[in-house]
Structure 1
Amino acid sequence: MNVRERLEAQEDEILSSYAAKSRDARRKFPMEECQFRTKFQRDRDRILHSKSFRRLKHKTQVYIVSGDHYRTRMTHSLEVSQISRTIARGLRLNEDLAEAIALGHDVGHTPFGHAGEAAMAKLTGHFAHNEQSLRVVEFLERSGKGLNLTFEVKDGIVNHTGPVMPKTLEGRIVRTADRIAYLCHDYDDSLRAGLLQPGDLPKLVYERLGEDTSAMITSMVSDMIVSSMDKDDISLSAEVKEAMDTFRSFMFEHIYHSETLAHERRQAVYVLRALYEWFVEHFEELPAEFVRREERWGRQKIVTDYVAGLTDSYAVQLFNEIFMPPVGFMVH
């Protein structure tokens, strides 16, 4: 019995009957098994070492003009992973599957946060970051070969938001852990940015979840574990769910759609629109590996893949290189 087989046997012995077992996981393309890692551990490692995951360190969460301590897509993904693992461990579900889904759930996100996603949707007619995350791991990574992840991980990634619930309980954990992470940490960043002050949230949120972000996370995580113990679904109590929904509505109104950040959103939309339209018209200016995919997916889809994959900083750099004259340019 090798290390992987021992780990699979431990899953059978320790995990809940509701947990996804790595031995049962399947891929689109069969692979020789690793001696040391289960399928879900291998998926986690493939995501962690991918180019799309590395790019998340330079992609905005909420604040485009970020200081040293604001969240990025990468730190958000790591925070979702930690929360998901805590819940999975408490419920005796598969931590490795939850971690892999959490690390991969946002790899398809655009530059400039939700403003960028809205801009891409307007430009293309339809764009959703969860669908793009699936496309990244399925087709775009490894020079178009994809990561060949298990179906369980891909299901959790594409259904971490939207109308369809993940098939596994681990995927459902990530779906709620994502919300816990972004609400609490975006609130924390908003305090740091001076857009909110302590006490600004509705009274119900503080009463039921706590006064600071650490207490809020602990309240929601604890409630999820207690409410979901030995059940075939992941849930929150009615009281905590009401507080979370109230928290979310407040953040959308006062932060995500706030007039204070409207100028940044307009700048982001302007840059992405300019780049998208430029590369549709000058398709040959894309990197060669993208140009080669035109016959398979069409020009618009390839440009969408390229622009959506840019980091904030590189999108601005490209915009300057294409549209801005050199610093020494002078009109005579």
Structure 2
Amino acid sequence: MPTQSYGLGREVLAPYATDANLSRGRQVAESDSPTRTPFQRDRDRIVHSTAFRRLKHKTQVFVSHEGDHFRTRLTHTIEVSQIARALARALRLDEDLAEALALAHDFGHTPFGHAGERALASRMAAYGGFDHNAQTLRIVTALERHYAAFDGLNLSYETLEGLVKHNGPLSGPYAGSDPVPPAIAQFDQMFPLELGRFASLEAQAAAISDDIAYNTHDLDDGLRAGLIELDDLEELRLAGSILREVRQLYPGLETARTRHEIMRRHITLMVEDVLSETTRRIAQDGAGTLEAVHANHRTLVEFSADMREAVDETRCFLFQRVYRNESVMRVMRKAEVVVGRLFDVYFERPAEMGVAWSAALVDAPVDRAAVRVADYLAGMTDNYALAEHARLFDESPKLL
């Protein structure tokens, strides 16, 4: 347990917040920093990681060469971290922990977003499957290899716990029906993360910030792409009410400013709702300590029932009008083929991945080889995946 005190010059945390002074430490023990809390060090390691830089060229919804102003995984991640910090500050949580979790939450995503994940999940079905949250854990605990004393980033217990459980417990009575991904189960044997308990409020804040960000910004990108028009928002309870308000306040406002005004108000309303509902739930459940948060029977950082209905309505709208739009699906189908073909080649001819990745696979069992190939592929950017496809198949797939 750290002996360093981190209270100087910092806001007084709420009793249910995660206290950096009481961190459970790291898998490999390190001396305390005289200038940074454990969670600040985690955030800094995440920002300086290779995985963080690669987010710049990974698809959010639209592939990068469709336009310079669409979100990438990196810009989405930065937007999530800003919202997470705002929630943490208002709730008097540890802002650095919330930010660290937000910045790393998408590390495990493949090139080409969910299309790449579908391809890897299909190829990995016989070898334990593929889960992007489990892949994030593999990246920060094993695959980042820059430090002399350890593999991975050697993040604190609280950050690892939050990355694994930000969407809720993975086992026990409050978990969903999906089995614990093998990578998480194996790591938990070495460094137990209490998979049956809820994560910290900082982790829950990062998770709901992801919902707030993509529900807003995917609407924005859909409008930019011309897949939906401003008038289409009228059918949405939340965005529609904001559209009408903005038009009443600013009649004749140009489209670009109208769109921006809607999106900023969209975020504000969801953030304010989460703060109100979270405060109510903490009081209602008597979750006045960190231990009570972990032992609670439900998520505490949440939308109100009315806002949850509006958010779910927006998500359904996005699926129908944006994510499943034929112009988007056509690109994603091509991208899925690219990732699938790359997996097949690397699995049959590991040397194509280069010595650094293939040397360990000499006489390795097939399940280990498959995981190694998935690690290699999941770490790729869109651009590198396309370049590899061109190299291996002597053709450059045109996604658009």
- Relative to the length of structure 1, the TM-score reads 0.91
Partners of 1:284 and 1:207 in 2: CA distance: 54
Residue identity in the other structure for 1:275: L
Question: Quick check: 66-75 or 158-167, which moved more?
Answer: 158-167
The answer on whether the counterparts of 1:130 and 1:160 sit within 8 Å (CA) in structure 2 is no
Correspondence for 2:263? 213
Residue identity in the other structure for 1:112: F
Partners of 2:89 and 2:354 in 1: CA distance: 43
Alpha-carbon shift at residue 160 of structure 1 (Å): 3.5
Question: Quick check: 230-239 or 64-73, which moved more?
Answer: 230-239
Q: 2:144 aligns with which of 119, 141, 147?
A: 141
Q: How many residues align?
A: 322
Partners of 2:219 and 2:162 in 1: CA distance: 26
Partners of 2:328 and 2:273 in 1: CA distance: 33
Q: For residues 297-320 of structure 1, give each alpha carbon's deviation from its aligned partner in whole angstroms, at most 9, with x where no partner exists.
A: 721100000011100011001100
**Is the counterpart of residue 131 in structure 1 residue 160 in structure 2?**
no
Partners of 1:325 and 1:91 in 2: CA distance: 53
The answer on whether the counterparts of 1:293 and 1:302 sit within 8 Å (CA) in structure 2 is no
**Is the counterpart of residue 180 in structure 1 residue 180 in structure 2?**
no
Correspondence for 2:328? 261
Residue identity in the other structure for 1:132: Q
Residue identity in the other structure for 2:15: S
Alpha-carbon shift at residue 120 of structure 1 (Å): 1.0
Question: Quick check: 174-183 or 225-234, which moved more?
Answer: 225-234
5 Å matches for 1:1-332? 5-8=4-7, 14-25=12-23, 26-64=25-63, 65-125=65-125, 126-142=129-145, 145-161=151-167, 164=170, 166-201=198-233, 202-206=235-239, 212-229=262-279, 231=282, 232=287, 233-294=300-361, 295=364, 298-324=368-394
Alpha-carbon shift at residue 98 of structure 1 (Å): 0.2
Q: For residues 62-83 of structure 1, give each alpha carbon's deviation from its aligned partner in whole angstroms, at most 9, with x where no partner exists.
A: 0024311111001111100000
| Matched-pair identity in % | 42
CA RMSD after TM alignment: 2.2
The answer for unaligned runs of 5 or more in structure 2 is 171-196, 247-261, 288-299
Question: Quick check: 292-301 or 214-223, which moved more?
Answer: 292-301
Partners of 1:197 and 1:51 in 2: CA distance: 38
Aligned residue for 1:53, secondary structure, equals: helix
Q: For residues 73-129 of structure 1, give each alpha carbon's deviation from its aligned partner in whole angstroms, at most 9, with x where no partner exists.
A: 011111000000000000001100000000000111100011111111111112111
Correspondence for 2:255? none
Residue identity in the other structure for 2:322: I
Q: For residues 203-246 of structure 1, give each alpha carbon's deviation from its aligned partner in whole angstroms, at most 9, with x where no partner exists.
A: 31225666611111000011111222272321222211111111
Residues 17, 163 of structure 1: alpha-carbon distance in 2 compared, 3 angstrom cutoff = closer
The answer on whether the counterparts of 1:137 and 1:149 sit within 8 Å (CA) in structure 2 is yes
Residues 36, 53 of structure 1: alpha-carbon distance in 2 compared, 3 angstrom cutoff = same
Residue identity in the other structure for 2:112: F
Partners of 1:270 and 1:115 in 2: CA distance: 9
Q: For residues 9-66 of structure 1, give each alpha carbon's deviation from its aligned partner in whole angstroms, at most 9, with x where no partner exists.
A: 566x700001001111121111111110000000000000000110000001000243
The answer on whether the counterparts of 2:4 and 2:32 sit within 8 Å (CA) in structure 1 is no
Correspondence for 1:329? none
Partners of 1:29 and 1:163 in 2: CA distance: 25
Residues 113, 8 of structure 1: alpha-carbon distance in 2 compared, 3 angstrom cutoff = same
The answer on whether the counterparts of 2:236 and 2:314 sit within 8 Å (CA) in structure 1 is no
The answer on whether the counterparts of 1:105 and 1:158 sit within 8 Å (CA) in structure 2 is no
Partners of 1:108 and 1:80 in 2: CA distance: 16
Question: Quick check: 140-149 or 306-315, which moved more?
Answer: 140-149
Aligned residue for 1:70, secondary structure, equals: coil
Question: Quick check: 136-145 or 170-179, which moved more?
Answer: 136-145
The answer on whether the counterparts of 2:166 and 2:199 sit within 8 Å (CA) in structure 1 is no
Residue identity in the other structure for 1:51: T
Residues 10, 284 of structure 1: alpha-carbon distance in 2 compared, 3 angstrom cutoff = same
Partners of 1:10 and 1:87 in 2: CA distance: 20
Partners of 1:289 and 1:266 in 2: CA distance: 30
Residue identity in the other structure for 2:34: Q
Partners of 1:199 and 1:299 in 2: CA distance: 51
Partners of 2:71 and 2:395 in 1: CA distance: 32
Question: Quick check: 202-211 or 304-313, which moved more?
Answer: 202-211
Partners of 2:215 and 2:392 in 1: CA distance: 37
The answer on whether the counterparts of 2:347 and 2:373 sit within 8 Å (CA) in structure 1 is yes
